[in-house]
Chains A and B, each alone.
Chain A
């Protein structure tokens, strides 16, 4: 039996990570969106270059609308009148709370820089490796452990197929739902966002049902 942290230490650790990230960057921590942006780095880098070049808010809005249309399909919305009055951030539903950037209310609407998302994924690897080594749990192995062997499958080919299909479901599902256990589960539920509460209830509930089926039926 491996010694893991007690529940209260885990709760404090996860909360500290999420709160610290949100307070220091005014953004939400989300691993699936980091994956998404890193995997589509060409289009994301194009948007970043436009963001860096553009000083005219109207051109920026049009560029973002075009990028959104490219990602989700459909036609970009008609451009705003050239001399339209500046929008009121509160009227647009933007944040004007003390944690927001008071110099530029639009700054935190832009996604985190692409390189920082790649750094997040690499840092997760390093953090996990440090934890495994310092706890004496690091062992190179070609299986997923006794639990996986007993509950899912002990055949290597079936294991590879299960992990691949499971990974596809995780990747597809998290992007379709707009977040994962960190984005919806910690950041979103922490903000009591209805969409995150619904997503978390559904993915946790589904995982409970499937886990019981694997444990008791298959």
Chain B
């Protein structure tokens, strides 16, 4: 699955499964998300933490490549901005897509904001920050 066609098929399968799973967990529901972040309902938090725990175990068993990554100057401010945006809009980069797919049409505005934010970041990085921020999804 490491040819161009193989990666394309893997991405389609991953996208379908991710969209289906995230929607059924309830990440697209703003009320559920707020209940998770305010610890009123631990169900989604446990789903996320449980997934990380399972992944850690499998990656260790499979000896999956572990890139140490570089903690650059953009990590903390970027994560603060992302956390703020996630809490107020209810969307990380995948979730507004799922919200629109579930019928929440205002999430199109969130997607428009995400697009502007991503383009703005590359422009600002090229012009001012000059950070090699790396990327998790290559």
Chain A residues with CB under 8 Å of chain B are 2, 4-36, 39-40, 68, 70-74, 93, 95, 97-101, 107-113, 115-117, 119-132, 135, 137-148, 150-152, 159-160, 162-196, 198-200, 202-212, 214-215
Q: Name the distance in Å between A201's Cβ and chain B's nearest Cβ.
A: 8
Q: Name the distance in Å between B27's Cβ and chain A's nearest Cβ.
A: 9
Interface size on B, residues (CB 8 A): 121
- Contact pick for A182, options B37, B94, B101, CB 8 Å: B94
Bound together, the chains give a CA A39 to CA B34 distance in angstroms of: 29
- Indicate whether A108 sits within 8 Å of B89 (C-beta atoms), given known contacts A21-B10, A126-B16, A198-B75: no
Q: Is the CB of B84 within 8 A of A164?
A: no
Which single residue of chain A is at the shortest CB-CB distance from B51? A14
- Indicate whether A25 sits within 8 Å of B46 (C-beta atoms), given known contacts A163-B107, A179-B135, A180-B82: no
Main secondary structure of the interface of A (DSSP, over half): helix
Additional 6 contacts, C-beta under 8 A, given A116-B12, A165-B88, A210-B84: A11-B48, A13-B21, A14-B22, A24-B1, A40-B122, A71-B126
| Chain B CB within 10 A, most for which of A20, A125, A191 | A191
Q: Is the CB of A170 within 8 A of B85?
A: yes
Chain B 75-99, CB-CB to A under 8 Å as 1, else 0, gives 1111111111111111111101111
A-B residue pairs in contact (CB < 8 Å), sample of 19 = A4-B43, A14-B47, A14-B51, A31-B18, A74-B130, A116-B11, A123-B19, A131-B98, A163-B91, A163-B110, A166-B89, A169-B85, A171-B120, A171-B121, A175-B117, A178-B135, A187-B136, A206-B84, A207-B37
